[in-house]
Amino acid sequence: MGNGFVNPDATLEACGIPGVGTAHYNLTAPALYQMAMQRGEASAGAGGTLLVTTGKRTGRSPRDKFIVREPGYSDSVCWDSNSAMDPDRFETLQADMIAHLRGKECFVQDMHCGADAQHRINVRLVATLAWHSLFFRHLLRMPGPAGLSAFAPDCTIISCPGFRADPNRHGCRSDAVIAMSFRRKTILIAGTGYAGESKKSVFSYLNYTYPDAGVMPMHCSANHANGNPDDVAVFFGLSGTGKTTLSTDPARTLIGDDEHGWSDNGTFNLEGGCYAKTIGLDPASEPEIYATTRMFGTVIENMVFDPHTREPDYRDASISENMRCAYPLSYIGSASGTGVAGVPRHIFMLTCDAFGVLPPIARLTPEQAVYHFLSGFTSKTPGTEQGVAEPQPTFSACYGAPFMPRRAEEYGALLRERIRLAAPACWLVNTGWTGGAYGVGRRIPIGITRRLLSLALDGALAGLEFRRDPDFGFEVPLAVPGIDSGLLRPRDTWEDPAAHERQTARLLSMFTRNFEKFDIGPNRGALSELRAAC
């Protein structure tokens, strides 16, 4: 047994994982750093960072994710968007992975997920890689010694990148698998070294359990005004839309950059760290995130680096477009010390529009906000998922369909009720293209997006004159101080107005077709109202 804190009643043996060679429990970041180096898992980077590669899978593998179809749970899972695994296959997979661990060195991290003590859970990671354990320690929330001495896992993750799944034996698709059993409260990850699978699996688990507790789980970043935790803004969006970048603002306190809950108590971060994309990272526009890539223990994934200086190359994407760094929230000077705050006053729906037809910002009615939440329109950016080489327009319900076990309408109803009670201002923000589609136009500068967000947050934007967009129905400012008014009218930024009209018609048609998939059922009136409003 390793020398970290552990509850004797919650050892691996007590939890049904016998025969491990050496189990290191809850080692500190320096100890895990040292072991990752000694085991040849990583290289030391500039400033004491940890440089790692994840193997052939450098992003999430959504087609390799499965939920076990189990009595008592199956009826509440949306099988239209989630792949099922037979319980017997899961049991075989779990037994085979536990057998794989026999005699091997393992790293166990016992962590909290959820800053609100009323809604947090205990999560245990059993990993065969020291750097995966360090990553997990960064990304979730560390219990104190008292919490560890009484720790009993509510959910256990077993991560074995070196174990190759067998589709015929385990009922999966390839030699990689991410399988989740709600009845067993267990998540199995095999055949992939991409560390992001562990944190996203925990998020998926809570996306299933939280609605029964009346908590709205959100794939979003969040911050609040400095000194005023009741002035909260949340930023919904898929990877690559700017959640981390836009919420990391020295003028505001960062609650978290990716995953949150919204309960009767307010907004709370599920995590204790950040997992930021680093491709093209610029110290001028993203100074706080850039600074973390020089701090001790920051895990830097899949980045090319100078073998002499150990400086990472932020533009060389020869390993992957999905270059990332993982670090504790404490590395961000503006981060919240508690991870909890009030209910949102502003909701921003972030989209990366590869069509180039959406304005940089638009005001939404509550109905439109729920419509865009259910639609989840954006463009997948290169590297986030396997096989994505250029931006691909997509609709991902709730801005996180791969992580949503339940039907999207259930999450939409939760958000609708939360908006009704809190009455936040709602906005759609395009961080994608203008002046043409991808390949023709240009990406909207981050400085312009920051300026618009600042004006929205301090109330100045709401006091301006707006026009109703004839195509999408939302309201767009006519003019904004310090912003080229042409950007607020996307049609005017295109050299070929007819091409703009064709792209707009194409996107509108995609919105309409996508929304038809939602089951109206008992929500017929509500969803019909959303369609009419948009």
User: Which residues are tagged catalytic?
Assistant: 60, 200, 219, 239, 243-244, 258, 324
In 3-state terms, what secondary structure has residue 110? Answer: strand
Say if strands 259-263 and 266-269 run parallel, antiparallel, or are unpaired: antiparallel
Tell me the angle at which helices 366-375 and 408-422 cross, rounded to the nearest 10 degrees. 150
Question: Are the CB atoms for 511 and 375 separated by under 8 Å?
Answer: yes
Cα 219 from chain centroid?
6
**Number of continuous H segments (helices) and E segments (strands) in the chain:** 14, 28
Q: At what angle do helices 130-139 and 29-38 cross, to 10 degrees?
A: 150
Is the torsion defined by CA of 432, 433, 438, 439 positive or negative? negative
Query: Residue 383 class from Cβ within 10 Å (0-12 exposed, 13-18 middle, 19+ buried)?
Result: buried
DSSP 485: G
CA dist list (Å): 342 to 223, 252, 264, 265, 345: 10, 14, 9, 7, 9
Phi then psi for 493, rounded to 5 degrees?
-90, -10
Cβ–Cβ < 8 Å for 255, 339: yes
In DSSP terms, 364 is beta-bridged to 426
Q: Is residue 391 within 8 Å of 353, Cβ to Cβ? A: no
Question: Cα(361)–Cα(457) distance, rounded to whole angstroms?
Answer: 13
Amino acid at site 479: A
